[in-house]
Homo-oligomer: A and B are copies of this chain.
Amino acid sequence: MSQLFKDLERARVGEGVELDSLLAAVKWSADGLIPAIAQQHDSGEVLMMAWMNATALRESLATRRVCYWSRSRGKLWRKGESSGQQQHLVSAALDCDGDTLLLQVDQHGPACHTGRRSCFYVALDADRARVSSEPLIDPDALYGKGQA
């Protein structure tokens, strides 16, 4: 863990650093990415996890519309650009060792490309996996073809 994150462990509430210093200390992957968890700010429902690079994170913080990095398409992905189901950014936080983001968002409609509210719909028990929710919208109505 970088010294910056060790120093923040002992900092008081409200103390901090410039965003540029923080981003220089973030534990980006070899591809320059960090996982970002999106949680609906009022209900607490965890909607999805996707990836951001520094550009996507800076854009999201500045515009308050969530922008990810699409690993499959290899480009910035402004959530909702093909489906219309945008995410408004309410707040963002990094974790203790600087390798994961938690976004509080206001998600319009389904977050999942299947038309479900949340991507986490395959419930696991010790011997089986079962689908636990229905789509809100038929995915064919969300896209010609594409991603959320």
Tell whether A82 is near chain B: CB-to-CB under 8 Å: no
| Known interface pairs A15-B130, A22-B129, A62-B126; A46-B102 also in contact (CB < 8 Å) | yes
Give A141 Cβ to nearest chain B Cβ, in Å: 14
- The reply to whether A46 and B39 form a contact with Cβ atoms under 8 Å apart is yes
Q: How far, in whole Å, are A77 and B94 apart by their CA atoms in the complex?
A: 22
Contacts of A139 in B (CB 8 A): 9
Which of B44, B125, B131 meets A45, CB within 8 Å?
Answer: B44
Give A3 Cβ to nearest chain B Cβ, in Å: 14
Q: Which of A87-115 contact B (CB under 8 A)?
A: 91-98, 100, 102, 112-114
Tell whether A127 is near chain B: CB-to-CB under 8 Å: yes
What is A's interface to B at a CB cutoff of 8 Å? 8-9, 11-19, 22, 35, 37, 39, 43-46, 48-49, 57-58, 61-62, 91-98, 100, 102, 112-114, 116, 119-134, 139
